[in-house]
Structure 1
């Protein structure tokens, strides 16, 4: 069977249905679904920051992959789970159970079409755990579909090295990294303010942190009046370009390794057995 190459399109919405069926029939066929959020990002960044990052960086990642690799993408899911930001007007948040159900339904339909893997490419830190739960439930219901919940900012090596401390550990939202990346990707969407807000006045007890091994379910208003948690003063397009390069090259390496492997174990079935099981 002839492979569908990226000279056509890696966007599923741009394929006719017979092309999608052919794409799904490729050994190791993989769909990437970018996830963002619609939430405040301080006075200087747009509400759709996380979705924009996931969408544009995924396009750059896929553009650099070998054309024979069997990978396609869905349109971005731009509304996410953002209850921590709802005290700031304009933030929109889906209920956790609705987002989980959406992933279960769409994932099952992709499995019915014959796809073998679904990568949840998430740009919003506040829904990492939720997408992990959704992925586990989807996999339990459709064991023939491998489900890989990923966070945009985790995985590629060397990204954190570009952000100095204490911003690396305390710049959780709309700080140096996000402001710099937006200045590089979409400078016309960045306002002139460079807030410093939400930094802890005293350290947490030993072993505890806002995010990490022993985290806390913080709300933005616990920390910040501007919506920023971090220091955006040193933001620059140059830093944003360096962040993009490491994120894109890192995800290209990770996805290439995945697509040239049979990982994860236990999910993929022979072509004649793909689709909904009879059980």
Structure 2
């Protein structure tokens, strides 16, 4: 598959016009961030993951599908990391406005779906709000905010429980995945930091956690001196390869089922069901 033909911004204007009016026309917009990832990973870590996984996913899908991707939004919402050099964070209102402005233009072209393919955990909630706001302002456009690591099967088989629960940033998983994808960007340090000591002021009381059902709006320097929240010591290329395989397999399956359906119904589908996506 010619990857350039799956880049929306590489189309000519007549091609873009035709693309947007195809039944089931869908754009995927990858989101990353420019933020510290400890002393061993690049500021672009989340953007690298979003773009690399998405490109691999698209390679495994039928090139005839009406599915295109946008360039990565490489600056995101990262106030939790602002006290570490290199972090560039856009404000929440600016992200909301950005998604709304771009999404409204896709809706005006005739696109049926916009997928926000996000790899930065710190902006999950914000992009969900942005998606809801855009859906309200552009009822003809279905908007799907997704998180790269959410719902991926088999992660518990690959990562220890401590890292699954507390390895929130630049730990074993992210370091391993970067070793697989771009080892030249990985430094030699393998920090372990950010785990709250039992009984310390940073240790959440029973029923509470840094993230999860009853979370805390933490800042990185509340927890970590290095910028790492987790344990990068066991990271390996082999683990990164297995994580990459699971991520690609998961998102290929998700996009295959999405593109074979009319879901989710937008106002245009509800008023004119014949405009739905093809079943095959």
TM-score (norm 1): 0.93
1:137 lines up with 2:133 in the alignment? yes
Counterpart CA distance in 2 for 1:37 and 1:93 is 8
Equivalent residue for 1:242?
242
Distance 1:8 1:74, change over 3 A: closer
1:10 aligns with 2:6: yes
Residue number in structure 1 paired with 2:37? 41
Quick check: 1:181–1:243 contact (8 Å CA) kept in 2? Answer: yes
Look up the match of 1:261. 261
Relative to structure 1, is the Cα distance of residues 48 and 99 closer, same or farther in structure 2, using a 3 angstrom cutoff? same
Matches within 5 A, 1:163-202: 163-202=159-198
Residue 51 in structure 1 maps to residue 78 in structure 2: no
2:22 is aligned with 1:22:
no
Deviation at residue 267 of structure 1 after TM alignment: 4.2
- The one of 133, 143, 146 aligned to 1:147: 143
Q: Does 1:225 align with 2:225?
A: yes
TM-score (norm 2): 0.93
- Structure 2: distance between partners of 1:7 and 1:198: 39
**SS, match of residue 5 in structure 2:** coil
Q: Give the paired residue count.
A: 270
CA distance in 1, matches of 2:262, 2:239: 36
Q: Decide whether aligned partners of structure 1 residues 177 and 273 sit closer, same or farther in structure 2, where only a CA change above 3 A counts.
A: closer
Deviation at 1:8, TM superposition (A): 6.5
* Distance in 2 of aligned mates of 1:197 and 1:139: 40
Pair 1:204 & 2:201 matched: no
Query: Which is further off, 127-136 or 194-203?
Result: 194-203
> CA-atom RMSD, angstroms?
1.7
Residue aligned with 1:72, SS: strand
User: 1:216: Cα distance to partner?
Assistant: 0.4
259-268 vs 163-172, greater mean Cα deviation: 259-268
1:90 maps to what in 2? 86
Question: Which structure has more helix as a fraction of its residues?
Answer: 2
Structure 1 residue runs of 5 or longer lacking an equivalent are 275-279
Q: Does 1:128 align with 2:128?
A: no
* CA 91–258 in structure 1, closer or farther in 2 if over 3 Å, else same: same
Matched, 1:60 2:56: yes
